[in-house]
Structure 1
């Protein structure tokens, strides 16, 4: 081959390379929740740019995450006539562009459906008893799936966040209804269904499995709750002083505490051992279940409230990540810039982020 011909071939190869090399699809292994933006938003702050914008997507991608989970609120997305209010999804449309520009995958999470709440004292849980509400939920997902069916596999749907159904089988029935509705218009998109009672590990054995490789399973864990939610103002642990519960370590509730009876029932005494073995034992049945059934699992919520001390936060986050990685589970930490943040108000990584990515 002459030197001139060799040069021409090398030049041609260099010219064609950008046309034949595409960015790899996101693996959905390391993600973060965009909380309080399109669901659980503060009054007058629905999808405001100070909560999430293109710069945030770029920061997330630059710091090692490969996807985001964006909660949306189905209670406000559907009209009285049962139609999708498409303009309320315009912020999501923008976010999909920002994320695609950064090669970030997106899980669109239905944080609420009409007639469904996930609080212990939920005032509205008629979804589980009203056939019309279940039909409306299926119609809503069918319309959303139709709107986004041209998007590639970097977009996934989580069908209902933290269901609290009267019985585990009630959720199985709803999961089937929602999957069927989406499959009418989109045969291949990855969908996440969850177990009952906040997606917790204990109800996984009753979760009905799908004969569909693109139905995956989304679970949540904040155990031990006494550690991850210490001092949270919305919980029964609001009176625990910040940093009072260590990880690893032990914690003893006072004998006159209203929580004492539950702690004794769960732990055999008022003293809890909150250590690596506790977390490993919590994961073990789910890891075995996933292996037995050869299913894909992602932990779409786990995290530590900012009241925990730094060392304990690092320890707990790292324990969860290592267990997920050993099991082959993806994870999506809660949350981006809320009470469990990976990024603080000054824009810097928090202890939660450092626990997720100790190598950085």
Structure 2
């Protein structure tokens, strides 16, 4: 209760309108709700969503909403070659829904959602993107501009940044303007249109273009337990602390500053909290965000109506208690009672089998949660975000830090990695993490990371001060230290100080161990760590049909040498397969990974292989690894033939396939053919899964 009162008091202090702010130009969005997980999956309701009915719009309007946002995956319903024709049936479906919403008295934001190639190759995809928007513009040209607004593309990210945004979107905007000269067009910025994207968002010189941003802060609260996030933010994060209130103060000021600088008022295109958050906490979060931003006139589109982060239960045909009232709408329902406090201590994740297995495999004792990237960041000269790629060693995710300028001191910007225990005088500690420099203005082109074990309260006493010089390739760095002081539990952090250079640097998951000077294990003194059963990228994707820790593979081919190695993927085991000369057939050398379980014809399988190339006599220096599911005896019938091009960095290569023949238990294998080139390929854990949702043999 004390926390809630503190937050409410702080909100009241920031809710007063700023008298110095002239009335900025903005869209009259009002209370708004997203029709999420309906038309933005590859096909409607593919993600288990509720199919939109005309009656939904009447229900939404009667609840007091003024606008709906309709996310649409046009990319999956249009031709790949010019003129990129949109499927007429799909276009008619969208037109019908827009008309039904307008008939219910609602404004409509028609959004392009999940146009994937625009994010991976924005300039290369711009012609097709513009061709599709040209057709959308023609289809809706006769609709009133006061009630239908276009949003060009949802949440630019990856290679789609504020630096190329205008160039990539200009052809589409021109195509729209040819038939819709004064229709409002909405544009959001980089990094998934987070609030900080507004600082560098440049809009075209067009009086009918409006900015937007999305608000899911703090992300570790709103997306806790969200399985599509990698790594999954842990459950148990509550909302309502002084830090949460302070964040709202800062974020509201960002909108004030933007409006003062540009004369435009952005609207909040998405906000919400996942259903893994207790209902009372979801209500509290929406109420806090609404009370903070609404006084500025910011329209807010909650995510979402009924399918994800829902406000409405379409099965029970009832609005969820307290949710409408939280955003300022009439609400006859009562807000849910506060849930019981989670059993874990604040800020501390409970032990999991995966963390216990990692702890067991390490020297000393693991004293942090390596799967968590929700570190506290500091410094106004720095932007940070989570990046995900199978190429990132140690878990497939990292934090990217972009320093806009050089700090006066290295500690002017950085991040603090929480430690779950106290630090004890004379105790031995080691921190290990993967890192690389994306770019740096330092004379040698390398990044700088200051590392320090410390107390996260004044006077910030610490030990183990080390400055790392970080190159452009992923490398595992270790910082050992012996404590010269005690640091209490709850105040101990690993400080990463990043303002020593104007740089963009990426830091992967961090392992902190007590009672050891290194996490590296010498092969002659200790057994390598057992492979984890499933990496985060595969968690929840299916049931394992093999044992990833079983390295007793059948090796074949007279031109092949093989040896087990302890790789630098946090000490995990790999097998180095070396082929002296390319074979007449790709299957002339390789390894066979046994499958223990049966496979039925029609089973959907996912194959994942962690691999890297040490050397290869190919034109591009990349290895060739052929993968095949097959019988383990003549005639070796099989399926899922794929040729992987394996680069020099560790990557988890994934293949989806459907079994075209049945394999009885104990009769199948995954063949890894290596005779496609003279090469040395290192192969880590291999995973064969029957995808989730299927019974064995179904």
TM bucket normalised to smaller: 0.7 to 0.9
**Structure 1 counterpart of 2:103:** 101
**Structure 2 counterpart of 1:151:** 143
Preserved CA contact (<8 Å) 2:49 2:307: no
Match 1:349 to one of 315, 319, 330: 319
**Structure 2 counterpart of 1:62:** 62
Q: Aligned-residue CA RMSD in angstroms?
A: 2.3
Give 1:114 shift.
Answer: 5.3
Give 1:90 shift.
Answer: 1.6
Query: 1:291 and 1:78, CA in 2 relative to 1: closer, same or farther beyond 3 A?
Result: same
Tell me which protein shows more strand as a share of its residues: 2
Match 2:256 to one of 281, 287, 296: 287
Deviates more, 1:45-54 or 1:134-143: 45-54
For residue 96 of structure 2, give the secondary structure of its aligned residue in structure 1: helix
TM norm structure 2: 0.41
**Structure 2 counterpart of 1:112:** 114
Give 1:321 shift.
Answer: 1.5
Alignment of 1:2-151 (within 5 A): 27-40=28-41, 45=45, 50-81=50-81, 82-113=84-115, 115-116=117-118, 125-128=120-123, 130=124, 133-151=125-143
TM norm structure 1: 0.77
For residue 116 of structure 1, give the secondary structure of its aligned residue in structure 2: helix
**Structure 1 counterpart of 2:222:** 228
**Structure 2 counterpart of 1:16:** none
Tell me which protein shows more helix as a share of its residues: 1
Give 1:239 shift.
Answer: 6.4
Deviates more, 1:334-343 or 1:161-170: 161-170
**Structure 2 counterpart of 1:216:** 210
Give 1:58 shift.
Answer: 0.7
Q: For each residue in 1:127-158, what CA deviation from the matched residue of structure 2 results, as whole angstroms up to 9, or x when unmatched?
A: 34x2xx21111111111111100000211110
Preserved CA contact (<8 Å) 1:158 1:191: yes
In structure 1, runs of 5+ residues without a counterpart are 1-25, 118-124, 250-272
**Structure 2 counterpart of 1:315:** 284
Give 1:168 shift.
Answer: 2.0
Give 1:34 shift.
Answer: 0.6
Q: Which has the larger radius of gyration?
A: 2
CA distance in structure 1 between the partners assigned to 2:138 and 2:310 by the alignment: 33
CA distance in structure 1 between the partners assigned to 2:85 and 2:199 by the alignment: 35
Query: 1:339 and 1:292, CA in 2 relative to 1: closer, same or farther beyond 3 A?
Result: same
**Structure 1 counterpart of 2:401:** none
CA distance in structure 2 between the partners assigned to 1:239 and 1:210 by the alignment: 36
Report whether the alignment pairs 1:161 with 2:116. Answer: no
Preserved CA contact (<8 Å) 1:77 1:86: no
**Structure 2 counterpart of 1:266:** none
Give 1:295 shift.
Answer: 0.9
